[in-house]
Amino acid sequence: MRGPHNIWRLIRTGATLERTGAMGVILDALDAPRPLRIAYRALVWPFKWLGIEGDPSMPPVTRALTALGPAYIKFGQILSTRPDVVGEDLANQLRVLQDKLPPFPVAQAEKQIEDELGMPVSELFSEFSEPVAAASIAQVHKARRADTGQTVAVKVLRPGIERAFRTDIDAFYFSADVIETLSPASRRLRPRDVIAHFESVVMGELDLRLESAAASEFAANTKGDAGFQLPEVNWGLSGRRVMTMSWAEGVSLGDNAAIDAAGHDRALLSERVLQLFLNHALRDGFFHADMHQGNLKVAPNGDIIAYDFGIMGHIDEYTRRVYAEILYGFIRRDYKRVAEVHFEAGYVPADRDVDAFARALRAVGEPIFGMDATRISMARLLSYLFEVTERFGMETRTELILLQRTMVVVEGVARSLNPHMNIWDTAKPVVEDYIKTSIGPRAVARDLMLTAKVLGRFGPRLPGLVEAVLIRQAEGDTAPKRNPWPARLGWGAGGLALGAALTLAWHLWA
């Protein structure tokens, strides 16, 4: 139900942030102006007593988000990868949300496994541990298969997690409605569409059969990638609420001390994690869309191991080409071409000035070229980017939210390993390689061949299709006029891609 009763949920959210002391920490981390602090306190303080107390042993922000529920925890996971935005101390506090949340009892996990797989845990596994990791949606147990002796990881959904997420998402929808009503200017950001996208992603994450399928596809795409490993799905011991995979042995990518003690090169790892993501997004169009430290390990041989495939992203070939061309334009500092690509794809309204847009992009890109990453204020950069999108009427492209979000997270992971890494230099070889193979004469020839094959399949029907179109025009068809297919292509997936790609590129720099 998305009605006014959600006002209570929103009031309780603000009250919980105030009661736990989380809001003060957040406002300090974001360096919020004094008027905003005063206004917030005036609105929320009277309702403070209504807030959830949470676990007093936790730091304030972690305590508040954990008390509020899984959707809020997801948001905290994203912030945990951005010490440049929220500060190192707060990012470290939030990192426990990735895989160190309070677990649910083993007995409940065993009951769910038995209900899902139709056999008692004691018959399936000779050993079954206490939870080794617990996140917002599920927890993981280390086990040993009774039949083969193989060590495996068993992922089990939290009891009642579907209902908990539905409650949060309904409140988010209500918030979006209120925002759109009170602030018409915010409609270009499409808050309801953003929440709808978030809902679709989360609902897919709550069916572990889909995660198993995604893991299998991802493994097939990346089997030749040097320095990258994935655990193997055990289909016979997996279902909707249970997923079993081979055990991944390694050090968490979020534990720099352990990485150093194991003798791994953090600078090399920071470059590898970014290049792997770009390769998967550009080459395959299918990428891990939840690449925070809690889902990544470093194997004893130095390979990066990824797991938890509940959120995966997909982008089509046209979008990938647009994305690559934008990144390549920024790498070459050819802002005019980057601006033109945006207009060609329909990401910026055609009535805006392409030269003015190019200058705005230059104002974003030039200050960060050659600058040490530790001296770049990500919060300030994002603030300016928001101004640019507003000035040029650029709308939120919900189709590319996962790409944008993942780029922000991956960049944060890379920076946590090596704060001085040069994002542009790291991205350049991957983007250049994709440009060579996917944009240019060879790509054009390949596209024409594919087009000819499609036309060939429709060959016998083409005369009839053309005749039908001519008859409709002659009869003065009153159906709504539609743009020619190339324009629709650009305004659709490609245009959105472009926008997201740019924003991605923007996040890439910090």
Reduced to 3 states, what is the DSSP secondary structure of residue 147?
coil
Report CA-CA distances (Å) from 83 to 100, 143, 434: 19, 35, 31
- Tell me which of 28, 290, 351, 433 is the catalytic residue: 290
Beta strands in 180-271, from DSSP E residues, in sequence order: 228-229, 242-246, 251-252
DSSP for residue 380: H
d(C-alpha 198, C-alpha 402), whole Å: 9
Scan for tokens 């071409």, then name that residue.
337
Q: Is 434 left (phi over 0), alpha (psi -120 to 50) or beta?
A: alpha
Q: Is 290 in the active site?
A: yes
Which pair of structure tokens corresponds to residue 344? 């060609």
Select from 309, 291, 501 the least CA-distant residue to 403.
501
Reduced to 3 states, what is the DSSP secondary structure of residue 181?
helix
CB 345 within 8 A of CB 337: no
- Name the CA radius of gyration of the chain, rounded: 25
d(C-alpha 348, C-alpha 397), whole Å: 11
d(C-alpha 21, C-alpha 41), whole Å: 12
Provide the b/e sequence for 337-360 (b: ≥16 CB within 10 Å).
bbbbbbbbbbbbeeeeebeebbeb
In sequence order, what are the residues at sequence separation of 6 or more whose Cβ sits closer than 8 angstroms to the Cβ of residue 362? Answer: 335
* Number of neighbouring beta carbons within 10 Å of residue 255: 15
Q: Which residues are catalytic?
A: 290
